[in-house]
Amino acid sequence: MTNFIQQGKTIGIIGGGQLGQMMALDAKQTGMKVIILDPTPNCPAGQVADEQIVAPYADSNAIAALAQKADVLTYEFENVDLQALEKVVDKVYLPQGTNLLYTTKNRIREKTFLRDAGLKTAPFMAVKSAADLKVAVNKIGYPCVLKTCEGGYDGHGQEVLRRDEDLAKCHDLLATRDCILEGWVPFDLECSVMVGRNERGEVTTFPVAENIHRNEILHTSIVPARISPALQEKATKMAVQIAEAINLRGILGVEMFVAHRGEIYINELAPRPHNSGHYSIEACNFSQFAIHNRAICNWPLPKIELLKSAVMVNVLGQHVAGVRNQIAQQPSWHFHDYGKATRRHNRKMGHVTILTDDLVQTLAEVDNTGMWNE
């Protein structure tokens, strides 16, 4: 028997950032009630929800209280306390379960899962000490990347190593005693695919997005990705293969490297909506947030259509003033502001989506504003 969450029921979301906000906005549009758990009062998601429980993410009592009030429970990031979640699995419908989170919140487990599922990844080895690091570097070779196995985002918690002298930079990471060394994949571009799946096993996929990063933070997503239809199909099939292998419920972001000669390597998985899928709010018949909510509520999943090509550009703390000055000049741009209380350098504060018939011209227009020059 499958669970079907009726319209008007309550979705509980652990995490109150911009992803939770956009999940909540879609949920409210479809007639659902939303309760957020987040330690920051009036967080972005809390601003648009019916209720917010102000408590730390690892507060078992708060998660139990959320579970008691909700008909279905989900999360907007990986750093959810697994033990707290496991305590409520028999008290509330948790469609994503705990295995998805257990696998994706640890890079060794994630890479091992991908390899075992028959997908290509960069070569990798577990590293718990300086001695381990030397062994791993000797085996994998330079260049390579040392990352913490857990936590870490937008370039935090990692060091690129190109020569022996770089090993001295790894002291803080090695202090965690839980790292992974990954080989460098020489790639032509980075891309991602959002894939949704419900309890009935229905799967739907979004167009392949081409992603451009600056300082390890996503800067621009271009949809459709500027790769051949055959490579787009290959990337999409890999995303579906992962969704099936991990028994996905909800939406999953699959980040990929498109390497020379058309090889595709899986870089990372995000068990939630993803920054590179924000374009879908305006550019598709259903957004990634709508598909996530439909999937966790076990509603039927539609075929996704790209209504128009799109460019999505992130707005970081240092870009806010410039972007706000553009509002009076850009009638066709879609401006999103997440309502964060504090503006910080390199912190994601919003994004802009531009629907276009000419990707090259639109990318040039974005550059010519000068707003994103750092």
Please say if the pLDDT value at position 272 is more than 80: yes
Give the pLDDT of residue 157.
84
Domain C-terminal end among 146, 163, 183: 183
- Record the tokens describing residue 210, joined without a space: 């081409």
**Residue 245 backbone phi and psi in degrees, to 5:** -65, -35
Residue 168 and residue 192 share a domain? no
Count CA atoms within 13 Å of residue 350 on its CB side.
21
pLDDT digits (tens, 9 = 90+) for 209-240: 999 999 889 999 999 999 999 999 999 999 99
Is there a domain that residue 193 lies in? Answer: yes
Contact 21, 338 (CB under 8 A): yes
pLDDT digits (tens, 9 = 90+) for 156-192: 789 999 999 999 999 999 999 999 999 999 999 999 9
The length of the chain in residues reads: 374
Is there a domain that residue 2 lies in? Answer: no
Residue 296 and residue 230 share a domain? yes
List, in sequence order, every residue forming a beta bridge with 335; answer none if it has no partner.
352
Give the pLDDT of residue 156.
74
Contact 253, 272 (CB under 8 A): yes
Contact 73, 96 (CB under 8 A): no
What are the CB-based long-range contacts (under 8 Å, 24+) for 81-86?
Answer: 81/57, 84/57, 84/58, 84/59, 84/60
Residue 290 and residue 240 share a domain? yes
- Record the tokens describing residue 289, joined without a space: 């947030």
User: Domain limits at 285?
Assistant: 187-368
**Residue 227 backbone phi and psi in degrees, to 5:** -130, 165
Residue 312 and residue 300 share a domain? yes
Contact 103, 150 (CB under 8 A): no
Question: CA 144 to CA 242: how far, in whole Å?
Answer: 25
Is there a domain that residue 273 lies in? Answer: yes
Is there a domain that residue 234 lies in? Answer: yes
CATH number for position 313: 3.30.470.20
Contact 94, 88 (CB under 8 A): yes
pLDDT confidence of 274, banded at 50, 70, 90?
very high
Domain C-terminal end among 149, 183, 217: 183
Question: CA 371 to CA 369: how far, in whole Å?
Answer: 5
Give the pLDDT of residue 370.
92
Is there a domain that residue 107 lies in? Answer: no
Report percent pLDDT > 70 for the chain. Answer: 99
Residue 209 and residue 168 share a domain? no
Residue 294 and residue 226 share a domain? yes
From the list 302, 300, 310, the residue with the least C-alpha distance to 285 is 302
Give the pLDDT of residue 1.
58
Residue 154 and residue 285 share a domain? no
Please say if the pLDDT value at position 19 is more than 90: yes
Residue 178 and residue 152 share a domain? yes
Is there a domain that residue 294 lies in? Answer: yes
Residue 193 and residue 156 share a domain? no
Residue 198 and residue 62 share a domain? no
CATH number for position 77: 3.40.50.20
Give the pLDDT of residue 155.
63
pLDDT digits (tens, 9 = 90+) for 62-117: 999 999 999 999 999 988 889 999 999 999 999 999 999 999 999 999 999 999 99
Q: Exposed/middle/buried for 330, CB within 10 Å: 0-12, 13-18, 19+?
A: middle
Residue 86 and residue 229 share a domain? no
pLDDT confidence of 374, banded at 50, 70, 90?
low
Residue 320 and residue 282 share a domain? yes
- Record the tokens describing residue 76, joined without a space: 């907007």
Amino acid present at 109: R
From the list 353, 291, 273, the residue with the least C-alpha distance to 15 is 273
Number of domains in the chain: 3
